[in-house]
Structure 1
């Protein structure tokens, strides 16, 4: 019996450390990388950078992309239920711009439903690890009416930019963005390797406005969405010649840290 005590103590120690890890504050690797000095990798991120895995991103329609992680977590962005592909998602994010971006009656079999707006009068605060993906949000304001009328009035924190950190990638979805981002927004977003941007030019924000944000984020991959009839060459002209363009004939992009393009690239998936 005495000889088993070391094993018992070891087990208790492991359980205590696991419990502490669950209670410990979550940390954004994308923010840490964005704030790191040039040529320096934060010590805590060396193992994260070594992680391998391919993420599949599929365009379903409107502002809905499906993100499939290496561990099998399936995420649908700006989910209304109208744009479906493959199996039911495990996680859905929503923005309450209009009914094409959310549903109050999602399939009850979806385990995680994340609202980009606050349900209790407070801003939405998403800080959650689900499987191999860490999900957080940055809130922005949203107009009460369509168009760019500055007198229309804004709903504070009515939209969320959702950020998904998985397999060493920082993936952002700008949602139904209605205004320019200031320095505090960019600081809260941090680094984005892949960003999904609305390019309708009317219902969200002007093409000049979204082009400015896209240039400043300078993500390796830009995935347009919420396009309607916007000419793609017009969007490309606004963001500048430093971005390459890659037209695809398939709806799914498979990508990893190792396969990010060296030049910032706008990838147009089929259906966009």
Structure 2
């Protein structure tokens, strides 16, 4: 294992020196480096150290929209349609196009950064954006619904802030490949659709969630699916934490010791 980690760290430094990484505004501290897929070795070598007390607030706004408020005061709204999280105006919104409940064609001009998870002209889209204290990137997945297939038309968005790696799976329709996992990297917190029908079936979604091994799992996009249909598939290794509030505050030092499914009010 020690040899594997030394190999991974050496590979990580090599990646930092490569032209692709040099073009990024800020190298990812959450990216995975693999010695040999699927046995991924995660490297935690933050290039920008978070202050010990840096806290991120995460709020469930509705449907698949979570609000992420960073220590520097940047507000992000995920899968933004305008129905949830529009006031006060977020600084950054991410969108996916599976349904009109996950995007809007008429976002407020006051939103500084609008990040669609798809390319209107076809093909994939790549985001690498530093906004004050948060670095935002994406990993594309495919849309496959009702007989329609669109390659790289959906995005998993990853937010790196205060030393935390926060992922939003979007409107995910299929199991992830080893390459996807390597591109995603470490996720301390992951937002997971648990409807079991319009997105990936729950067997597949729970498999993905277990493999990501995040400290905090935040369900979303539940509709009428019983929460137990998802949590029951996750197994005894995951604790359950039902909250009366729709928000939580989390820092790198306050992550739970056991992986925990946190169900915020409204979910």
Larger Rg: 1
221 and 126 in structure 1: CA distance in 2 versus 1, 3 angstrom threshold: same
Structure 2's unaligned 5+ residue stretches are 1-21
Partner Cα distance (2:41, 2:150) in 1: 36
More helix by share: 1
CA deviation map 1:123-160 (0-9, x unaligned): 11000101100000000000242xxxxxx241101100
For the 8 Å contact 2:29–2:47, the answer to whether it is kept is no
Q: Say whether residues 1:140 and 2:135 are aligned partners.
A: no
Aligned to 2:181: 186
For the 8 Å contact 2:25–2:128, the answer to whether it is kept is no
Shift of 1:235: 0.9
Aligned to 2:31: 31
Q: Say whether residues 1:72 and 2:73 are aligned partners.
A: yes
Shift of 1:229: 1.0
Aligned to 1:5: none
Aligned to 2:215: 220
Shift of 1:104: 1.0
204 and 263 in structure 1: CA distance in 2 versus 1, 3 angstrom threshold: same
For the 8 Å contact 1:51–1:168, the answer to whether it is kept is no
For the 8 Å contact 2:24–2:128, the answer to whether it is kept is no
Aligned to 1:110: 111
Aligned to 1:163: 158
Number of equivalent positions: 242
Shift of 1:270: 0.2
Partner Cα distance (1:27, 1:80) in 2: 29
Q: Give RMSD over aligned pairs.
A: 2.1
- Of the three residues 260, 265, 272, the one matched with 2:260 is 265
For the 8 Å contact 1:34–1:190, the answer to whether it is kept is no
Aligned to 2:15: none
Residue correspondence of structure 1 range 8-47 to structure 2 within 5 A: 26-31=26-31, 41-42=44-45, 45=46, 47=48
Q: Say whether residues 1:253 and 2:254 are aligned partners.
A: no
CA deviation map 1:139-192 (0-9, x unaligned): 0000242xxxxxx24110110000000000000000000000010000000000
Aligned to 2:126: 125
Matched position secondary structure for 1:208: helix
Aligned to 2:11: none
Aligned to 1:56: 57
Aligned to 1:9: none
Q: Say whether residues 1:199 and 2:200 are aligned partners.
A: no
Matched position secondary structure for 1:185: helix
For the 8 Å contact 1:94–1:102, the answer to whether it is kept is yes
Shift of 1:37: 6.1
CA deviation map 1:76-127 (0-9, x unaligned): 0000000126511000000000100000110111010000001232311000
More strand by share: 2
Shift of 1:49: 5.0
136 and 34 in structure 1: CA distance in 2 versus 1, 3 angstrom threshold: farther
For the 8 Å contact 1:171–1:195, the answer to whether it is kept is yes
Worse-superposed segment, 78-87 or 212-221 = 78-87
Partner Cα distance (1:108, 1:227) in 2: 30
Normalized against structure 1, the TM-score is what?
Answer: 0.84
Partner Cα distance (2:75, 2:34) in 1: 26
Shift of 1:24: 6.2
